[in-house]
Amino acid sequence: MREGWQLKMLGDVSIILNGGTPKTKVKEYWDGSINWITPKDLGKLNQIYVSETPRKITDLGLQKSSAKLFQENSIILSTRAPIGHLAINKVPMSTNQGCRGIVPNKGLEVHYLFYYLKLNVKLLNDLGTGTTFKELSTKALSSVQIPIPPLSEQQQIVAILDKAFAAIDQAKGNIEKNIENAKELFQSKLNDIFSQKGDGWEEKTLEEICEKTKNIKWQDFSSEEFEYVDLSSVSRETLSVTETAKVNKENAPSRAKKIILEGDVIFATTRPTLKRATIIDEVLSGNLCSTGYVVLRPKENISSGWIFFYLLTSKFMDRMESLQRGASYPAVSDNDVKGSKLSVPMSKLEEKKNILIMNNLQESTNFLIDNYVEKLNDLEDLKKSILQKAFAGELTSTGSVTTQNAVAV
């Protein structure tokens, strides 16, 4: 630690206040003018400041609960479910019991504290306790040590970090836009292929070009323990997947399932895996398909690849978005999927030629996106590196930090 800096506990340089929730059944406590934020609300923020919340409470609700009103320019930190979301409130604000308000003393710059806590989210999680879910207590939070330079130096560090992070965020924005452009170009090319009509092409529904698949019950499955295909760990649609999960018949749910065969195409119909698709290969053939997937088994005159790539078109995806039902777990039905119409070439040679084009398109698009994602990860690592230097006193010792080369895209 640099000369002139002091190591203090957070509880010694700030006031830490708990949150609370007024009784939800008392109307007089809600829909007032006092902003009231939860960990879930904090997790949806895409900036460091918050000045408006989805729900508000009344003065009476504040008085009749353990909620506290935090002054503006405090830190709002989620301390459970999960630990580590944080923001600076620009107006007086209250929270539920899943958050703490940290009101810095006069000698502690709020943005300096924000950046320090941002760097140490893992530490905050490690300090959490609990079996069902971790919670960071006020006592544990108060014990967190923070290096405190003179106020003028804190302000200098914040200015350097603000400038560096603005450049990094701009670079990230450019990369994220490039990723979206790559995805849109890929889907545009697919749409062009599947919009072809005229001689040698027919419009069919997925149901018309797929065989019917029979349901079985878990109890009728021959093995006591078996594997089923699960796309929950797959980040995007893929031509093949190797992830499976084991299920014990005794603990399995009672709903019917389908045995999947090589060449089947499965499509996720329920969030959070909605829109993911894969073609079943020889390794996975004979397993079961898990809940929330429709099995599309192409007839002999149609290839799996043709169905798979149709599921990736924006036309199909947009239709699935519009047909979702359910508040907690939005989903589409098997009939929604199978009722979708697509153009099908009658010539196998034409089909094979277009599938080759689409395969090449997907490979080149995924290669491009992977490179962009790697750059995004590098920028996040750069942020962490700059923060570490800041609180080790290395930024103000040199007076600057160079980010130009690191954020060039």
- Integer Cα distance of 282 and 262 in angstroms: 5
What is the structure's pLDDT at 214? 79
- Integer Cα distance of 243 and 262 in angstroms: 15
Look-up of token digits 């300090």: 127
pLDDT higher than 60, residue 249: no
Q: Which CATH number fits the domain 6-148, given the four candidates 3.40.50.740, 3.30.70.1140, 3.90.220.20, 3.30.910.20?
A: 3.90.220.20
Q: How many helices (H) and strands (E) does the chain have?
A: 14, 20
| CB-facing half-sphere around the CA of 306: CA atoms within 13 A | 28
Would you say the CATH fold of 201-345 matches that of 6-148? Answer: yes
285 pLDDT band (50/70/90 cuts)?
A: confident
What is the structure's pLDDT at 235? 47
What is the structure's pLDDT at 376? 96
| DSSP conformation letters of 31-73 | EEEEEEE-HHHHHT-SSSEE---SEEE-HHHHHTSS---BPSS
What is the edge-to-edge ordering of all strands in the sheet holding 293-298?
210-211, 293-298, 265-268, 277-279
Q: What is the DSSP letter of 407?
A: H
- Integer Cα distance of 136 and 99 in angstroms: 9
* CA 121 to the chain's CA centroid: 18
pTM given for the model: 0.78
How far is the CA of 349 from the CAs of 202, 303, 353, in angstroms? 15, 12, 6
Do residues 18 and 49 make contact, with C-beta atoms less than 8 angstroms apart? no
- Integer Cα distance of 258 and 266 in angstroms: 11
243 pLDDT band (50/70/90 cuts)?
A: low
pLDDT: which is higher, 246 or 17: 17
What is the structure's pLDDT at 215? 77
What is the structure's pLDDT at 286? 75
**For residue 44, which phi and psi values (nearest 5 degrees)?**
-90, -5
- Listed by start position, the domains of the chain span 6-148, 151-176+353-409, 201-345
405 pLDDT band (50/70/90 cuts)?
A: very low
- Integer Cα distance of 248 and 256 in angstroms: 15
- pLDDT tens, residue by residue, 67-78: 999 999 999 999
Look-up of token digits 């930090």: 401
pLDDT higher than 50, residue 95: yes
- Cα Rg for the chain, rounded, in angstroms? 27
Instruction: Tell me which fold the domain 201-345 belongs to.
Output: Adenine-n6-DNA-methyltransferase TaqI; Chain A, domain 2 (3.90.220)
pLDDT: which is higher, 234 or 397: 397
Residue 117, SS3 per DSSP: helix
Arithmetic mean of pLDDT over the chain: 87
* Mean pLDDT of the region 347-363: 94
409 pLDDT band (50/70/90 cuts)?
A: very low
